[in-house]
Amino acid sequence: MLTRRTFAAAVIAALAMPTLAAAQATTPSAATIERQLEAAPRVKLRPNQRVTIREFKRRPDLRRMARSIDIQSINFAFGSAAISSSQYDKIENIADALQRILRRDRGARVLIEGHTDAVGSFQSNQILSEQRAASLKRTLVREFGVPRYALETVGYGEEFLLVQTQNENWRNRRVTLRRFDDFIR
């Protein structure tokens, strides 16, 4: 049963954050995700310049060169890495794009990067970002049949903020899909 206090809190929250709800509700289409991850590489590395996946994860200079797309629409509860089934329609766009790419190129590999905002300790944000990336991978594999071999995960916590603030900002809580097969030995 809704009390006046609960109802008032819900109304205030809705009025205070209308852009948050609208912005996070928009997920790129499968075609947009596919186009971004299939675009011509910004840089073509020679075979002797290629690195291991571990090195790729640690080198922001290489990651910036890779084809990528930020997905800000997957809503995680504060401090949680769980993905509810209400988010599956958004994840389906990602799965559809990845499956089409993999049908054309079985060697395609995508890094799922987890990011958080700067609220909380550096360590807790690091762990949370790793858990969120792993949660998305698990959902893509178990619920949508994306091959496990095609996905890697990494968490960057609050290290690469889109909006430089120590306050809560939904734009910083995101996953990035980054195509890395052109960079790996």
Per-residue pLDDT reduced to its tens digit, 21-71 = 334 448 899 999 999 999 988 888 999 999 999 999 999 999 999 999 989
Residue 152 has pLDDT above 60, yes or no: yes
Per-residue pLDDT reduced to its tens digit, 102-147 = 999 999 999 999 998 788 899 999 999 999 999 999 999 999 999 9
For residue 133, the model assigns a pLDDT of: 97
CATH class of 30-37+46-183: alpha beta
DSSP 69-101: EEE----PPTT-----GGGHHHHHHHHHHHHHH
For residue 157, the model assigns a pLDDT of: 86
Residue 75 has pLDDT above 50, yes or no: yes
The CA distance from 157 to 136, in Å, is 15
pTM given for the model:
0.82
If one compares 168 and 61, the residue with the highest pLDDT of the two is 61
At CA 19, angle to CA 18 and CA 23, rounded to 5?
A: 125
If one compares 172 and 44, the residue with the highest pLDDT of the two is 44
How many other CB atoms sit within 10 Å of the CB of residue 18? 9
Residue 161 has pLDDT above 70, yes or no: yes
> Could you tell me the residue ranges of all domains in the chain?
30-37+46-183
The CA distance from 28 to 96, in Å, is 12
C-beta contacts of 118-123 below 8 A and 24+ residues apart: 118/158, 118/161, 118/165, 118/166, 118/167, 118/172, 119/166, 119/167, 119/168, 120/79, 122/157, 122/158
Residue 11 has pLDDT above 70, yes or no: no
Average pLDDT, the chain: 85
